[in-house]
A and B are shown apart, each in its own frame.
Chain A
Amino acid sequence: MKASTAAQYRTPGPLDTAAGSFPGTRRRTRISRHSAQFAYLLNAPSILVIVLLVGYPICYSVWVSLHRYDLRRPRIFRFVWLQNYIDVLIDPDFWTALRITVLFTLIAVVVIVSVGLAVALLLNRQFPGRGFVRTVILIPWAIPPVVNGLMWQWIYDPKIGALNALLRWLGIIDHYQGWLAVPTYALGGLIVAHTWNEFALAVILFLGALQRVPAELYDAGRVDGCRSWQLFLHITLPWLAQALLIVLILETMLAVRAFDIIYVLTAGGPGTSTTTLTWATYLTTFENLDFGHGSAYAYIVTLITLGLSVIYFRILYGRGEFEA
């Protein structure tokens, strides 16, 4: 406080002209010490929540992941260095689960982004009934994944399911199929159910970004003789870049973490055909009660999602889109 007061009454030197061109710079440095304390006071409850409920559990699970800790042999709690990680990484089941996770996430995200973008472009145009469709779009978003799973389980039912009835009526199949009993169909069915539940969020985000495209851009493009696909390619798509990244981040995280829908619909089966990393973590921890290996699994999933988000953030940051 004293130092800055002294600085204010100092005789003007050559450097001060530069400082003078940024009015308020000096005042800000004077109040910064107060505002720092104040800022941390405002953040205290949130920091407390994050440290206690995220920070502590992460540290705990790292600790457990370095130990042999199996609830079926509860008296053994032995430090084993990275043995759990090695066990997981040399286990072919891990690589199968990783492959299924990548497949599930990749297809789900591609489908959600393309369907979401197509629907958003449609709803950005004027036509009778648009308001109704915009309202209807919110339904999948509001449905909890557990209920979504119940709904699709009922649709895929091998004996009386609506999908069988529909495909038979259309003449595509001769006899009813147990959709969730065939590995490829089960993964496909899971992806259909998941994307139905999550595509609405993509539509909302894309639509919001589309509505902000300045009309002048299109006018200028038309004056220059652009065709409509050129307008889309050179104006609409670049404008959507940020919304696209946000959708990619959100939907990737949702797909990697998908749990409820798997629990209700396929329980990881048949065989291991829908066992993603998240499901494998759940099985190891809560079915086998092997907390050591379960924590190693959980931590590998965490590292993968953190890695992906760092990549996404770098892209946002590099583009100057991430503003703090």
Chain B
Amino acid sequence: MTAARTQSRFHTILLMGGGLLVTIYVLAPFSWLVLTSFMRENDVLSVPPKIGWDSFTISNYLTFIHASGIEAVVGSRAAENTLPGIFNSLVAATATAALNVVLGTLAGYSFARLRFPGRMPLLLLYLGSRMVPGIALIVPLYLTIRTFHLLDNLAALAITYLTLTLPFTIWLMKNYFQGIARSLEEAALVDGCTWAQILWKILIPVAAPGLAATAIFAFMTAWNDYLFAVILTTTMAAKTAPVVVAGFVTDVTTARTLMATGGVLAVLPPLLLALMCQRMIVQGLTSGGVKG
């Protein structure tokens, strides 16, 4: 008995050691970025870097709010654009998520509940369309969008993001609806409900966690995109956060601390979303994407 207990304690310590390693692997690079964003440029540039309470500052963050403010640092002009960029990203990503939920629910429902000719080819068409790399789509998309004078337009950007997100959304929603028992719908059908009532009052409430998960995925994908945004936007009317941040990073003159701060700001919205909706994301991915 005691032997077994010491062994299990040894196991626990081993597992905790593994957990610690994973935590360091994940947190070390990211915390270095966060730490840099709270340091003064001179302290960052000295070898070894000065890390301590006296070098802690929030002036980098203030520069983003008020560019010409307290300390004029190299790159503060670019910094000015970060918050508007984040706002643009929020608009585009939210619109993408909303469009995905609507289109994905309708198509997902049809695959889960209806038998129709061409069902399988259509599903493969959706999934296959996601296999085409964005780099192959972007030139014709650019030319088309330019013809319609929709460059620099957040709505157009959000619609092009559907090519990245819609196939996966339809697949997830199909699996979600298929996982819901038909008995409720059959009862509702006997009571004379229309399909719209069934979808709206029975299926959507039951599938709400799945819908939320697909919305979050679409939001994340749209937020992360750089390729489409950099080519389809040219001014701050529609430039998204990754485009602004990439603009800084490739400019060697930009202050290191400002780069780090811009990076942290651009990560903040998706990071908060991921941490707040942790349970939903994990459940949505595992129950919709993979069957056990």
Contacts and interface: CB of A to CB of B under 8 A. Distances in A.
Residue among B120, B160, B291 with the highest chain A CB neighbour number at 10 A: B291
A251 B291 CA distance: 18
Size bracket, chain B contacts: 35 or more
B133 A305 contact: yes
A102 interface: no
A298 B29 contact: no
Contacts of A243: 290
A137 B110 CA distance: 35
Contacts of A28: 115
Given A61-B140, A146-B245, A42 B27 contact: no
B181 interface: no
B22 interface: yes
Residue among B141, B143, B256, B282 with the most chain A CB within 10 A? B282
Interface string A118-158: 01001101111110111111111111111101111111000
A142 B289 contact: no
Contacts of B242: 144-147, 260
Interface centre among B29, B48, B144 (most CB of A within 10 A): B29
Interface string B111-152: 100111101101101101101111111011101100000000
A305 B132 contact: yes
A211 B286 contact: yes
B16 A259 contact: no
B29 A151 contact: yes
Contact of A133 (B22, B122, B137): B22
* Interface size class, chain A: 35 or more
Contact of A122 (B12, B19, B47, B135): B19
Contacts of A253: 131
Contact of A150 (B49, B111, B259): B259
B67 to A, nearest CB: 20
Contacts of A60: 140, 143
A122 B48 CA distance: 36
A205 B166 contact: no
Contacts of B249: 146, 149-150, 153, 264
Nearest to A60: B140
B12 to A, nearest CB: 5
Contacts of A123: 19
B286 A49 contact: no
Interface stretch (B72-80, B200-208, B263-271): B263-271
Contacts of A184: none
Q: Is the interface of B mostly helix, strand, loop or mixed?
A: helix
A119 B32 CA distance: 22
B132 A154 contact: no
A236 interface: no
Given A49-B103, A147-B245, A155 B131 contact: no
A39 interface: yes
A133 B282 contact: no
B38 to A, nearest CB: 14
A133 B23 contact: yes
B83 interface: no
Interface string B198-239: 000000000000000000000010011011000100000000
Contacts of B58: none
B289 A205 contact: yes
Contacts of A246: 289-290
Contacts of B44: 160
The 7 closest A-B pairs by CB, nearest first: A208-B286, A212-B292, A57-B140, A298-B136, A127-B15, A142-B274, A60-B140
27 contacts: A46-B170, A53-B162, A53-B163, A54-B132, A58-B136, A122-B22, A127-B12, A133-B23, A138-B274, A139-B30, A139-B271, A142-B271, A142-B273, A143-B30, A143-B271, A144-B241, A146-B242, A154-B33, A162-B32, A204-B285, A204-B286, A211-B286, A259-B226, A295-B139, A301-B136, A306-B128, A324-B119
